[in-house]
Amino acid sequence: MKSWMLPMLSLGLCCALAGAARAHDEPAAPRPVDPACKLAAPDAAQAGPDCAEAWIDRNLSLADVQAIGTHNSYKRAIPAEELAAHRARDAAGADSLDYAHAPLHEQLELGMRQLELDVYYDPKGGRYAHPPGALRQGYGEAGPWPPGVAAQMARPGFKVMHLADIDFRSQCMLFVECLQQIRAWSRQHPQHAPILILINAKDGRSGPGAVAPLAFDGKAFDALDAEVRSVFPADELITPDDVRGKAASLREAVLAGGWPRIGASRGKILFALDEEPRKVALYRGARRSLQGRAMFVNGDETSPDAAYLAINDPIADGERIRKAVQAGFLVRTRADADTVESRRNDPRRREAAFASGAQYISTDYPKPDLRFSRYRVTFPRSEVVRCNPVRTESRCDHRAVEAPEKHD
């Protein structure tokens, strides 16, 4: 199969899934609960026979789980010739880019419950249609795309890419298309544990011969929220307003245990803007605590809108992660980075991530890349989502929050 056909197949599959999802647009029905279950019991073991799932849904919150997800989830491989050209200029940089992911629905089916999308602002369309590529020769008037994708690149709207000059191939080029694929899968699996989608707003420097990315400002972030809400209705999202409730701030709500219960969160999605303070401030605007916004934001533990924290080194920052998790914040950390752990078959960072209690652990290796080693990131008992080892593990009676057999 030609590599350029993959995005077209992905688009076709997205449309097929979206069509199927329309038959499932009603909110997920709650799971039936045996009236004999003792849901007020102190732990799942004492809830009664076959009552552990119901006890978990009633008693645990989003802060009480641990899940695995992917880093740069949209990314497709750089062709060998182009990667070799980049390696001749920057060997370490080329090594760090030498990974790729399956289509989003396949990652979700595999059990990934955190995805990451990098977005570029393109309000007029066509801005990123002609990348120079790693060979720095361009791709002619048609660009590197088959016709269907070229038409997408010409449309206004956010584009999903890693590096707009050399690492631009994506399983879904349009942000809205990525979201539609995720929603289609979600509606077909309405009992899934909540999925966290991380957003990076890309506007840094680009390489030689590439167009400069448009800077994000308040208007761009308003448009980004609008694209999120154009795909996901309010009852399928977990937003800062939902968590804050009547508390004075989002941070206050989170520290008081304000995350929704698992049973009320199944089938839902939450977004987090994983960005530097300057962009977070632009997204926040004049709001004190993200009122009306679709996404949570990365920050520190003292901010009024603190709820989600990106603490990406579980070895150096393991104690900070544990304290944040114990306090009630959601934390994302990384089990590997820049292909290093896979090339060395080194599990230390992965095991530190598991032990830290971070609720979302990101990897480039949900499956091993056998060019390098058998390194992969999966829980020891193969759960999709498990009880958090820092907060709740002893109360769950060794039961998964979401088990793999649910999506065979």
Mean pLDDT by 10 residues, the chain (408 residues): 41 43 50 88 94 95 98 98 96 97 98 98 97 94 91 97 96 98 97 98 89 96 98 98 96 97 97 97 95 96 96 98 98 98 98 98 98 97 96 91 70
pTM greater than the 0.85 cutoff: yes
How far apart (Å, rounded) are the C-alpha atoms in residues 213 and 173?
A: 16
Of the candidates 349, 372, 362, 243, the residue with the CA atom closest to the CA atom of residue 297: 243
- Can you tell me which residue has the tokens 């994708």? 149
In the prediction, which pLDDT does 142 show?
84
Does residue 280 contact residue 273 with C-beta atoms inside 8 Å?
A: yes
d(CA 315, CA 321): 10
Q: How many CB atoms are closer than 10 A to CB 293?
A: 22
**How far from 239 is each of 58, 293, 315, 347, 381, CA to CA, in Å?**
20, 7, 30, 34, 31
Contact status, residue 294 vs residue 239, Cβ threshold 8 Å: yes
Tokens linked to 189:
């699996």
> What local confidence, expressed as pLDDT, does residue 204 receive?
85
